[in-house]
Amino acid sequence: MPDVQYLRLDELSEAELHEAYEPPEEDWLRVNFVSSADGAATLEGLSGPLSGKADKRVFKVLRASCDVLLAGSGTVLAEGYGPLVLDPEREAWRTERGLPRVPVMAVASRSARLDPEAALFTHAPRRPVVVCAADAAVGHMAALREVADVVAVGHGEIDYEAALGVLRERGLRRVLCEGGPRVFGELIAADLVDELCLTVSPLLVGAGPIRVAEGRAAASA
């Protein structure tokens, strides 16, 4: 069993924090969530109220170090995602390492029912990706192809293993998933998750809110 290392976040420099979260392999799928102490993924329908200063610092580091940021359409709409941009410090960190200024934004929507006029698409610094099922409505996919690359895989639901294969063929090998719980659940069920970064907020939310992972059960623990 590997040694367990405990580090105080507020004692780490930015360089040390990036080193701590450096993926051990080139192909890596990392999921980032915040939850309450009693396991709720949201407070009043959003994850933002659970987040704090430390969580936001890690959030920025993880975004800066990925090739592609994957989020489900429900999360994108609920949390008000806009164009994927980074602050100048994070952009500089990427360009110093020969990376594009910002990662690619990928939105998972089984039905491809997304607004092609949303700022997430129209003001994106890099062309986004939409991941949907192959039997999504042709009209929806056609409209989105005007503003994004459409990866249509699976029938009735998204084939996430195939989708990741397409992304990695395009050089988008380090994947950061920010949810939502349904997407996370599907990734677990398909045994595609390499790492979970979980911030536990010192709050008790009580019954009602969903967990960080929802949906069908995985085949094995």
d(C-alpha 68, C-alpha 158), whole Å: 17
d(C-alpha 76, C-alpha 82), whole Å: 8
Please tell me the predicted confidence (pLDDT) of residue 1: 47
Q: What is the pLDDT along the chain (221 residues), one digit of tens a residue?
A: 466 677 788 888 999 999 999 999 999 999 999 999 988 888 877 888 888 888 899 999 999 999 999 999 999 999 999 999 999 999 999 999 999 999 999 999 999 999 999 999 999 999 999 999 999 999 999 999 999 999 999 999 999 999 999 999 999 999 999 988 999 999 999 999 999 999 999 889 888 778 888 876 666 54
Cis ω for the linkage preceding 180 (within 30 of 0)? yes
**Whether CATH 3.40.1440.10 fits 25-201:** no
Strand pairing report for 129-132 and 104-108: parallel
Enumerate the domain spans of the chain: 25-201
Strand pairing report for 174-177 and 149-152: unpaired
Helix 53-65 with 88-96: angle, nearest 10 deg: 40
Token pair, residue 180, equals: 């939502």
Q: Name the β-bridge partners of 132.
A: 152
Please tell me the predicted confidence (pLDDT) of residue 105: 98
Exposed, middle or buried, 181 (CB in 10 Å: 0-12/13-18/19+)? buried
Which letter does DSSP use for residue 209 in this model?
S
Measured on CA atoms in the order 7, 58, 86, 107, is the torsion positive or negative? positive
Please tell me the predicted confidence (pLDDT) of residue 184: 95
d(C-alpha 75, C-alpha 120), whole Å: 13
CB-CB neighbours of 26 under 10 Å:
9
Which letter does DSSP use for residue 176 in this model?
E
d(C-alpha 175, C-alpha 156), whole Å: 23
Token pair, residue 190, equals: 């398909």
